[in-house]
Every structure is written in C-alpha cells, then in structure tokens.
Structure 1
Amino acid sequence: MERNTRQRKAIHQCIEDAGRPLSPQELLEHAQGVVPGIGLATIYRNIKSMLEAGEITAVSLPGGGDRYELSGHAHHHHFHCRVCDRVYEVHACPGDMQKLAPEGFVLESHELTLYGLCSACRTIAS
C-alpha cells in the first residue's frame, strides 16, 4: 500500500510543480525522476483514482488526449502550443459570453482554448 501512496504523491507533486496540465506521458517522464520504475499503467491507474476522488480534473482538447491538472482552480482557460504540444493555463477570461449565444439561448458554461506557439517554441521558430 505504501508504494501506491508514494506513486500517487509523486504524480500529484509533478502536476503541482509543472503548474500546467500534463499528459499521461508527461506525468510518466516527471514521476520517473521521483519513483524510478513507475510505469504507464500505474500512471493511468492513479489518474483514474485521483479523478474519482476529485483530486485532479481532466482538460480535454479537441483532437488530442486528455491532460490533467489539480482540482480547485478558479475559472480559467488554456493555451495549447501547436509545436511542443504543451498546454498552459490562462488566468483570464474574455468575460460575458452570453452575448455570443443565439437569441433566446441561455449559456450555462464555456471553455476556451487558445492555439499558437508558446514563448520557447516562438524563440526557436524565429
């Protein structure tokens, strides 16, 4: 049981340290530095249990796999770098989206993902 607790803590710490949503592969790469020998199946098992416990939240991107971030964040959006495939949090919102909804419709929520180049990839591309 201690092994699972150590692995789960390592995964949690990886997400916290990154400060951005991570893919299962990114979690594996980071967690292996803390728990050598951890495998992808263990990452997925822990993701499942952490989702069920409400500890993490899935960030779904069209055409891509889910990323995972710690739960409890205030309303925010995401930026997806199309070169390195990393996802970053955007702590801003364009505001009242109800005005974009068709007349007579009631907006209940929204998600916004920006796409482009992160600062590191922009530097490389220049």
Structure 2
Amino acid sequence: MGFPSPAADYTEKSFSLDMKLIQRPAATYFMRSGATLYREGIMNGALLIVDASLSPCDGSLLVCRVDGEMRIKRYRKVPKPHLEDVETGRKEPLPNHDDDLTGPAAVFGVITYVVNDARSGEFDDCPVM
C-alpha cells in the first residue's frame, strides 16, 4: 500500500457561477438588456440577473413594469422612498401595494448582477469610464 498524497488537502473544488451569483434559484430570473445604460454599466444585450425576492436598498437597480414593458429604474430612499428614471433622472412615485402588478411602475425584482459581453469593445467609447 502507498501513502496518501500530501497535496490531497489542496485540491480545488469545481467553480460554479450558479452557486456564486444565485442565492435564491426559485426567485431568480435572467433577462437581456434592450438598451445601453452607460452610467449603470449596462450594455445593450447584457445579461441581467434579477432576484424577485429581495428588498431594494438605496441605489439598487430595479426591473419594473411600465406600460406593459419592463424598464430599469433606480430605487432611492432620500428624502422619501421613490423611483428614479435612469435615463432622465426624473423622480417617480413607488407603486402602491393596492396596484399590485398593474400599477404604473410595479416592481418586478432587484438586479443583482450585470454580465456584459467584453468582446464588443463598447466600453472604449464610454464617456463615463
């Protein structure tokens, strides 16, 4: 019989993006961005990982239903909780609980990660970075 390898304790476990990026699989959705939002670091076609079970904190990016479409809004707490349009910066009221899914900006979920395709090179012309 031989001796066990001294390096056996140092073997690496397999790396899984699912385990790193998804905390609640039943409440996690994958979406594609339909527009480029430079200030948010979102390029057109970016993969958005959205968790519908999270409560937003100040500055969180949210996916909201607006006029039958999904839109990205920023959540702000000061001076009172409201949504902010990421393109114009305009303040918008939070949807009421009574409105449920039919309100003017019903919150679908919190964007937890943004995965951009780095091959496109779009970041080279980014005025913010």
Question: TM-score, with normalisation over the residues of structure 2?
Answer: 0.24
Decide which structure has greater helix share: 1
Larger C-alpha radius of gyration, 1 or 2? 2
